[in-house]
Structure 1
C-alpha cells in the first residue's frame, strides 16, 4: 500500500510539474485543417497565354483571388509577403491597406500584340473586397515584359496557398487563397 501511495504521489507531482501531460492536452488542430504556411511560393514556368480577368471570392476558411488566363498552359508565378509591392517597369511603390502586403507575380502578360487583354477600371481598387475577412485591397501593379503584378493587402501575415486550375474549356486559372487566421 505504501508503494502505491508513493507511486501515486510521484505521478501527481510529475503532472503538477508538467513532466507528464495527459493525452487530452494534445496540440490543437490547425484552423480548418489549413497547413499552408506563409513562406514564398513559386513556379518558374513562363507562358504566352494572356490574362483576361481578375476576380475574388469568400469562403468559410479563406478569401480567394483568381487570375483567369486564355490558353491551356499553366502559368508560372512568384507569390510572397513583401515590405512593399512596386509597379512593374517604374518601380513606384503601390500603397496597400492592411497589415501585410502579398505580392503576386504571374508569369504571363495582360496584353497581346500591343493591346490590353485585361486592364482594370481602377488600378488602386481592382476588386471590391470591402466585406472580406482577410483581404483589404487588390491593386494593379502593371504588366511588363511578359509578367503581371498584383498587390494584395491583407489583414495580417496569414497562411496562403497558390495553385493552378485547368479549364473550363481552353482556359487556366491561377488561384491564391489566404486563410482567415492561423
Structure 2
C-alpha cells in the first residue's frame, strides 16, 4: 500500500504560492531569502526524500513547472532520481510537448484515481507543489504525511497550503528539526479514527 506524502516549501503564514517570484504574485522570491548553508542543507533533505520515494504525484501546473526549469535534462544524483521515478500527473487533458519520462496521466475522478494509485504503489508517493491537488487530497483524507520545509518569512498573501475543509483535520507532529540555520522541517501525520 502506498503512502501519499505531501512535501512542501511553506512560509510561516502557510503560503506555498510563487516561492521563486516567477508567478508574478509580487511577493515571491521568499525561497531565495535563505543563505547558502540553508540551501545546501535543504538540498540534502530533498535528495534523501527523493531516494526514499517510489513515485511522484503532481498536478498539471507543477509538472509543467518542473519541465520548464529543465528537470528532464538536469544532471546530478537528485535530478537523476526524479527522472527515474514514475510520475503520475493529475490533469483533465493530455500532456503537451516533450515530457519528463515515466509520466502517466490520471484522468477522471481524482479521489478514485489516487485511491487506486495508493493500492498499486508500494511505498512513498511524494507530492511536490500541486496546491489544488493537495487541497483535494486533504479534503478527502488521502494524505498520509505532510513534510513541511518552513521558511522564516511571512509572505502576507498567496495560495496557502491548507484551504477550507468540510471539517477539522487533526494532525500529530511526529518529527521536527532545524535544517541549516534558519529552516524548520516539520512532519505531521493525520489523526485518524481507530
What range is the shorter-chain TM-score in?
under 0.3
Tell me which of the two structures has the higher relative contact order, counting C-alpha pairs closer than 8 angstroms and 6 or more residues apart.
2
Higher strand share: 1
TM-score (norm 2): 0.24
Higher helix share: 2
